[in-house]
Amino acid sequence: MTSLLIKNATAILTGLPGDKARHAGPDIRITDGKIAAIGQLTAAPGEHTLDATDCVIYPAWINTHHHLFQALLKGEPQGINATLTPWLAATPYRFRGAFDAESFRLAARIGLVELALSGCATVADHNYLYYPGQDFDTSAILFEEADALGLRFVLCRGGATITRQLEAELPQALRPETMDAYMTDMERLAARYHDASPTAMRRVVMAPTTPPHSMRPEELRECAALARKLGLRLHSHLSETVAYQDSVFGTHGISPVRFCESIDWLGNDVWFAHLVKLDPDEIALLGATRTGIAHCPQSNGRLGSGIAPIRALEAAGVPISIGVDGAASNEAADMISEVHATWLMQRAKGGEAATPKFRAGSGEAGADEASVEEVVRWGTAGGAAVLGLPGTGTLAAGQAADIAIYDLSRNPRYFGLHDPAIGPVASGGTAHLRALLVGGRQIVSEGALPGLDMAELAHQSRTAVRKLIARAEAA
């Protein structure tokens, strides 16, 4: 039996709701990878200890939507000021075919390292780099890179069987798969990687890239049926912009959420990224079916999409989680900047909707739209809920020891806080990560990943960006 005692934390946020959101601690005992106790604890003879003086402790973050290959596509000039649809064409789709096994692996490593150093233990990646004749296995590379760092990894297997152009005119990397190939690969991935346990290190999810545009309705129904037969969850993009609404209304004659209802894609085993633009009946339907959201405020801000109505969604019953989305539409794809943006942008949305009393409005509003405790709950327990990993995401006895410990004594940004517990979210920035534990195993120590050569990773990233640009221009 291995045991570790985290001693003397300044504050502990648990990820739990209501008056359980804070625990006085100040100590946490971890035994065999799980939290054994939280309270005033005394070290047993020979027990390892980790000093958390001046530190704030959160459950490690759970990122529920990402595209790791985009870590080498940040700030791409042709897409930097574009909205979603032209950005997709200018950046991720233009560069898809430029990736090989080496650059894909490097991108995955950069993205995972960035997340780990922000205190993230679990990453759900929506990977859609699959095409006929592809000579490298992106699924295997992602699992290998997450394993090497010690992170929990959820592969959301993207893909498409239709495109809006003739297949023969498309570059190879944009050609659709056959439905047979997609389903065969899903069964292969589920058999090889999927672990259904509540603290799984590896999961597989059925995730056609964007339902109304990636597959035919009957194929999407087949996906939902196979996923439920195999015990897999369903994930995708939905309702990111007004153009998305226009397109789904134009093609299918109904709203995006109603379309998902018609193909069996709603339920507590489904979560969607974005959900920025929703009609009131769509919010009610998502809530009634307990369909979840991966809220991605930085990407939604960067692409000018809007701000998802998180407060209304939660009130309707929608499980809320937070995702960073791909780094080609979010140049800060770490969880601390994402939760900081969540906290600010929900408040700004509340204020935007406020109207003055002299016009029969209700006056000032917004500051109660999102508390730090709620944001922490969305980014931790909420992620565990949408991913179906109930043994993670909260700090309580019996839960997996996925723990982020932030030292606020190293940076003046965090000095002077009357309530240090809120510092990492409310102050933003880069709180010094004294430790990140995943299943009790320490994978970050004093802001560094042991064995990782950061200067070498930076050098490799510069070389890889030059190569990707040359390949994309040659295509």
Phi and psi torsions of 166, nearest 5°: -70, 135
Which one of 31-39, 90-98, 317-325, 406-414 is the stretch in contact with Zn ion (CB under 5 A)?
Answer: 317-325
Complex with Zn ion: residue 5 or 339, whichever CB lies closer? 339
Complex with Zn ion: residue 66 or 434, whichever CB lies closer? 66
Report how far residue 163's alpha carbon sits from residue 215's, in angstroms, rounded to the nearest whole number: 8
- 240 part of the interface to Zn ion, by CB under 5 A: no
Complex with Zn ion: residue 7 or 96, whichever CB lies closer? 96
Report how far residue 441's alpha carbon sits from residue 151's, in angstroms, rounded to the nearest whole number: 10
Complex with Zn ion: residue 224 or 324, whichever CB lies closer? 324
Which one of 108-116, 135-143, 305-313, 325-333 is the stretch in contact with Zn ion (CB under 5 A)?
Answer: 325-333
Cβ 153 to Zn ion, closest distance in Å? 17
Cβ 381 to Zn ion, closest distance in Å? 22
Q: What is the token pair recorded at 13?
A: 């946020």
Cβ 294 to Zn ion, closest distance in Å? 8
Q: What is the token pair recorded at 405?
A: 């410990």
Scan residues 340-359 and list those touching Zn ion (CB under 5 A).
Answer: none
DSSP assigned state of 466: H
Complex with Zn ion: residue 199 or 298, whichever CB lies closer? 298
Cβ 65 to Zn ion, closest distance in Å? 6
Residue 380 and residue 61 in contact, taking contact as beta carbons nearer than 8 Å: yes
**Residues 6 or more apart whose Cβ sits within 8 Å of residue 256:** 212, 238, 239, 244, 245, 248, 282
Q: In what order do the strands lie in the sheet with 55-59?
A: 22-23, 11-13, 55-59, 403-407, 432-438, 441-445
Cβ 450 to Zn ion, closest distance in Å? 31
Here's the x/- map for Zn ion, 253-282, by CB under 5 A: it reads as --------------------x---------
Report how far residue 72's alpha carbon sits from residue 373's, in angstroms, rounded to the nearest whole number: 33
Q: How far is CA 114 from CA 111, 156, 267, in A?
A: 5, 20, 32
Complex with Zn ion: residue 57 or 107, whichever CB lies closer? 107
Complex with Zn ion: residue 4 or 273, whichever CB lies closer? 273
Scan residues 141-160 and list those touching Zn ion (CB under 5 A).
Answer: none
Cβ 236 to Zn ion, closest distance in Å? 9
DSSP for 285-347, written as a single string: HHHHTT-EEEE-HHHHHHTT-----HHHHHHHTPPEEE----TTS-S--SHHHHHHHHHHHHH
Choose which of 325, 334, 338, 369 interacts with Zn ion (CB under 5 A). Answer: 325
**Residue ranges that bind Zn ion, judged by CB under 5 A:** 273, 325
